[in-house]
Amino acid sequence: MVIVFSPLCQKEIIKAIESFEIDGDQVFSIKEREGMKLIFNSTIENEDEACKVAKKIMSGIKYSSGLNYCVVSYDGKEIKWIT
């Protein structure tokens, strides 16, 4: 799973991340939205790679440089901060 923490532009973030496809298949789907936490399931098996892909998607969102956001991977037990 991938968690995106962002208090702003959540609809745009969800739309951008859910629209990402590999070979025509949707990679991310929103699992839960709780406050500023957006939790996404991913078809990418490696959680660290999924996090890196989500970060790349986030950097392409309009005004992303002005957004205060954080993207982390989550394996169900532990949050991993990927740089």
Give the structural domain span for 6. 2-80
Q: How sure is the predictor about 3, in pLDDT bands with cuts at 50, 70 and 90?
A: very high
Sequence-ordered list of residues with C-beta below 8 angstroms from that of 55, at least 6 positions apart, any chain = 71, 82
45 residue type, one letter: E
Q: Stretch 19-27: mean pLDDT, rounded?
A: 96
Q: What is the pLDDT of residue 76?
A: 81
What confidence score (pLDDT) does residue 83 get?
A: 62
Average pLDDT over residues 36-53: 94
Q: Which pairs from 50-54 meet CB under 8 Å and 24+ separation?
A: 50/1, 50/2, 51/2, 51/80, 51/82, 52/82, 53/20, 53/27, 54/2, 54/4, 54/17, 54/28
**What is the reported pLDDT for 79?**
87
Domain count of the chain?
1
- pLDDT computed for residue 80 by the predictor: 84
Token pair for residue 28?
């991310």
